[in-house]
Amino acid sequence: MTKAKKGASYLYLGLVFLFLYAPILVLIFLSFNNSMSRTVWGGFTLKWYLSLTSNDNIMSALGTTIRITLASSILATILGTSAAIGIHYMKKRHAALMLGATNIPLLNADIVTGISLMLLFTRFTPLGEFSVVLAHIAFSVPYVIFNVLPRLQSLSEACIEAALDLGATPTYAFCKVVWPELFPGVLSGFLMALTMSLDDFTITYFTKGAGVNTLSTMLYTQLRKGIQPELYALSTILFLLAFVLLLLMNFKRDIKKEAK
Amino acid sequence: MEFIQFDHVSKSYEKQLILDELDLSVKENSFVTLLGPSGCGKTTTLRLLGGFEKPDSGKIYLNGNDITALPANLRPINTVFQKYALFPHMTIEENIAFGLNIQKKSKDYIDDKIKYALKLVNLDGFEKRSIDSLSGGQQQRIAIARAIVNEPKVLLLDEPLGALDLKLRQNMQYELMKIKQELGITFIYVTHDQEEALTMSDTIVVMNQGYIQQIGTPEDIYNEPENAFVADFIGESNIIEGIMIKDELVSFLGVQVPCVDKGFGTMKPVDVVIRPEDVELDAPGKGFMDGTITDCLFKGVHYELDVQCGEYEWLVHTTKYFEVGQNVSLNVIPFNIQIMNKPESEDEEVMKEDV
């Protein structure tokens, strides 16, 4: 490759990264800004990070988000994994039908899902944290299924039979042979459900009822009053958490590759 | 009762009958091969014995005990699977120790067994390696090692050499026989490869469409096939319709030829089997029938000839070269003419049609 070509390709790559990460860099930058302004640099400060902890609104929204996210992603992982196992052992036509039905929540517009879930829930239960958890489970399950199913398909039936043949009870075979093969899929399904639940605004907004706020809906209500710099700090923390999680996952994969 | 006994075992999948009232007995310490084309029921028979399938009806006995309802994990039987079925997330050592860990053997015992088994399959020192670092042949050896460390009474092998290349397959055949001798346990081997069956087994069970066609030693099966299916499946043959005129005289393709078979009756329709290597070629007029060479292919050890005699085209193997178009005569010594009964029952008719 000529020098000019190489330079141009680096320039292009640089531009891609700039457009991808510039907004987040601006956000991180502003979270350390000792001024309410979004355009003027007022010196370095950590005060927004400190005042985060004393802001009741933010702290309660954070608590709600953690509860809803953990509850919904754990339950969705259990449900989705069981569903994937069920679908795997179905007859071909039934499995295709089930997978089609699983696809619909993924493709459906969030706003339609949100409104229809709200209409359904109001008939049976007052809207609140519980209904948000139900809604989040509903849209997370497909992600878990699509992460677990390929692992099941690559697991050969003969391996399970080999375990039984060597004297394993069905439970022992599941723990020692099936689960280790399934686990990476279950984990990535769980992490995806976690991200989807953290991310969601539209469906949460319709199913949360009055008085309940997750971080995303709280940010939305704050927008009308003007965003406080504490929220930059909070967003920075959330971003760094996701970033560390991502690094960890890649790191683990690299170690596994090297072991082989 | 024999060591392993199938008693009127039937099995069908989704209304398709795979095994019909199968009776089979196997002696202890024998090397028995179930041989047949795909879909003949040989693998199903093996899976029933391994405990992976339950028969629809009939009983299976091992050492006099009814094991029909016993689940796979409680049977003193281990299997070497066609696609190895090694556990991908475990090292070789962990794979081999899997069964021994379940039996709660001591660490020293397990280590000794792993060493012994790896030595037996010629892979000493491979303990810590991962499964994907092995070739297909090596993986198959590990699968064998993993099965035999449990000291099963019976080892089932489901086309274990199917995925290997020819040279490796031949080497593994000798190694399997060596392992069999060393362990002194019963081997039940499933294959569709007649050469494998003839090389390794004490007893061959030829199956087709859920029925046993013939049971016998490799020599019996090859030299004295009982019906047209066996004759055609094992090696190549000329199968010709004929009439048994009387004891030791058969007529086919318009000539009368002496043979050594007796007891078929007089003027009885039969099938005549003559192996291509048993046909001798001579100058025209010297044999029982004249013909013209229509094809000559070099096959390495021998030439494969087609000889047209009137309506019938003979398959002949010879070590001498013949020109296409050359006129020859055919000769077969009486001992090499094999006479078979024509199928009578409907079931036998089915087998015949399949040929």
A165–B98: do the CB atoms touch at under 8 Å?
A: no
Q: What is the DSSP string of B50-109?
A: HTSS--SEEEEEETTEE-TT--GGGSSEEEE-TT----TTSBHHHHHHHHHHHTT--HHH
Min Cα distance B19 → chain A (Å) is 21
Q: What is the pLDDT, as a whole number, of residue A249?
A: 67
Chain A contact for B83, CB < 8 A?
yes
Chain A residues within 8 A of B133 when measuring between CB atoms = 260
- Which tokens go with A31? 């979270």
Average pLDDT over every residue of A201-219: 87
Q: What is the pLDDT, as a whole number, of residue B101?
A: 93
Least trusted range by pLDDT, from A81-85, A95-99, A210-214, B53-57: A210-214
Model confidence over B51-70: pLDDT tens digits? Answer: 999 999 999 999 999 999 99
Q: Please give the tally of structural domains in chain A.
A: 1
In a domain, A253, yes or no: no
Mutation target for A interface from B44, B67, B73: give the one with most A CBs within 10 A.
Answer: B73
Average pLDDT over every residue of B133-161: 91
B146–A166: do the CB atoms touch at under 8 Å?
A: yes
Structural domain harbouring A88? 56-227
Q: How many contacts (CB atoms, under 8 Å) link A and B?
A: 67
Q: What is the pLDDT, as a whole number, of residue B352?
A: 47
Chain A contact for B146, CB < 8 A?
yes
Mutation target for B interface from A157, A166, A181, A255: give the one with most B CBs within 10 A.
Answer: A166
Model confidence over B83-130: pLDDT tens digits? Answer: 888 998 899 999 999 999 999 999 999 999 999 999 888 888 898 999
Q: Which of residues 15-54 of B touch A (CB under 8 A)?
A: 50-52
> Looking at the predicted structure, is the pLDDT value of residue A260 above 70?
no
In a domain, A235, yes or no: no
Task: Give A43 or B58, the one with higher predicted confidence.
Answer: B58
The full 3-state SS of chain A, as one line of letters, equals CCHHHHHHHHHHHHHHHHHHHHHHHHHHHHHCECCCCCCCCCCECCHHHHHHCCCHHHHHHHHHHHHHHHHHHHHHHHHHHHHHHHHHCCCHHHHHHHHHHHHHHHHCCHHHHHHHHHHHHHHHCCCCHHHHHHHHHHHHHHHHHHHHHHHHHHCCHHHHHHHHHCCCCHHHHHHHHHHHHHHHHHHHHHHHHHHHHHHCCHHHHHHCCCCCCCHHHHHHHHHHHCCCHHHHHHHHHHHHHHHHHHHHHHHHHHHHHHHC
Min Cα distance A181 → chain B (Å) is 7
- Which tokens go with A39? 């355009």
Q: What is the pLDDT, as a whole number, of residue A219?
A: 81
Model confidence over A76-92: pLDDT tens digits? Answer: 999 999 999 999 988 88
- Domains of chain B, first to last: 4-223 (3.40.50.300), 239-354 (2.40.50.140)
Chain A residues within 8 A of B87 when measuring between CB atoms = 159, 162-163, 176-177
Grouping H, G, I as helix, E, B as strand and the rest as coil, residue B286 is coil
> Looking at the predicted structure, is the pLDDT value of residue A22 above 70?
yes
Q: Treating both helix axes as pointing N-terminal to C-terminal, what angle do B92-102 and B136-148 enclose, rounded to 10 degrees?
A: 20
Chain B contact for A175, CB < 8 A?
no
Chain A contact for B85, CB < 8 A?
yes
Q: Treating both helix axes as pointing N-terminal to C-terminal, what angle do A179-199 and A56-88 enclose, rounded to 10 degrees?
A: 140
* Size (chain B), residues: 355
Chain A contact for B91, CB < 8 A?
no
In a domain, A32, yes or no: no
In a domain, A204, yes or no: yes
> Looking at the predicted structure, is the pLDDT value of residue A102 above 90?
no
Chain B contact for A164, CB < 8 A?
yes
B88–A181: do the CB atoms touch at under 8 Å?
A: yes
Least trusted range by pLDDT, from A40-54, B180-194, B282-296, B311-325: A40-54
Q: Is A77 exposed, middle or buried (0-12, 13-18, 19+ CB in 10 A)?
A: buried
Task: Give B354 or A198, the one with higher predicted confidence.
Answer: A198
B73–A158: do the CB atoms touch at under 8 Å?
A: no
Min Cα distance B74 → chain A (Å) is 6
A166–B147: do the CB atoms touch at under 8 Å?
A: yes
**B26/B7 Cα distance (integer angstroms):** 12
ipTM of the prediction: 0.76
Nearest Cβ partner of B73 from A156, A158, A164? A164
Model confidence over B151-169: pLDDT tens digits? Answer: 899 999 999 888 788 888 8
Chain B residues within 8 A of A180 when measuring between CB atoms = 89
Chain B contact for A176, CB < 8 A?
yes
In a domain, A27, yes or no: no
Chain A residues within 8 A of B132 when measuring between CB atoms = 260
- Which tokens go with B338? 């094999």
In a domain, A249, yes or no: no
CB atoms within 10 A of CB A148: 28
Nearest Cβ partner of B102 from A158, A159, A167? A167
Model confidence at B49, pLDDT cuts 50, 70, 90, reads very high
Nearest Cβ partner of A172 from B74, B79, B102? B102
Nearest Cβ partner of A168 from B51, B73, B78? B73
Model confidence at A259, pLDDT cuts 50, 70, 90, reads low
In a domain, A246, yes or no: no
Model confidence at A1, pLDDT cuts 50, 70, 90, reads low
Chain A contact for B129, CB < 8 A?
no
> Looking at the predicted structure, is the pLDDT value of residue B286 above 50?
yes
In a domain, A254, yes or no: no
CATH number for the domain spanning A62: value is 1.10.3720.10
